[in-house]
């Protein structure tokens, strides 16, 4: 709410400097639209929604996964996949955040 009010205040201050022109009308309209967008974004809380990848979905379902061209991926990706290839392997989804106080682990 505070961010929206400061944007609205800034819009009015800009219009006080530029007055009486077609440009100021267009600018005011644009700033009103931006303020409405910010208000909508802020009211939604700017939430993040996690979406599983095809790999994660396959691991959860217990399906086979074919990694064609795995030798071409970057070393950081291979480092993430290596724990899956070990006996009793798992994948820790740190990026997802904590669920019930713990990171999500796919076994």
Determine the average pLDDT of the residues in 79-105: 88
Residue 23: the pLDDT is 63
Handedness of CA 54, 56, 61, 65 (dihedral sign): positive
Here the tokens at position 3 are 């961010």
Alpha carbon distance 76, 72 (integer Å): 12
Alpha carbon distance 102, 81 (integer Å): 20
Average pLDDT along the chain:
78
Residue 57: the pLDDT is 92
Close Cβ partners of 93 (under 8 Å, ≥ 6 residues apart): 56, 103, 104, 105, 106
- The string of pLDDT tens digits covering residues 18-44 is 555 666 677 777 778 877 777 776 665
**Which residue from 104, 100, 91, 90 is spatially nearest to 50, judged by alpha carbons?**
104
- The string of pLDDT tens digits covering residues 3-21 is 445 656 666 665 555 555 6
Here the tokens at position 106 are 């796919």
The percentage of residues in the chain with a pLDDT greater than 70, rounded to a whole number, is 70
Here the tokens at position 84 are 């899956």
């Amino acid at each position: 709410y505070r961010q929206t009010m400061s944007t609205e205040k800034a819009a009015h201050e800009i219009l006080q400097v530029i007055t009486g022109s077609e440009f100021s009308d267009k600018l005011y309209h644009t700033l009103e639209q931006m303020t409405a967008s910010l208000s909508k974004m802020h009211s939604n809380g700017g939430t993040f929604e996690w979406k599983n990848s095809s790999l994660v979905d396959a691991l959860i379902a217990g399906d086979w996964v074919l990694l064609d061209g795995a030798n071409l991926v970057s070393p950081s990706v291979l480092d993430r996949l290596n724990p899956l290839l070990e006996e009793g392997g798992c994948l820790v989804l740190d990026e997802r955040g904590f669920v019930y106080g713990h990171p999500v682990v796919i076994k």
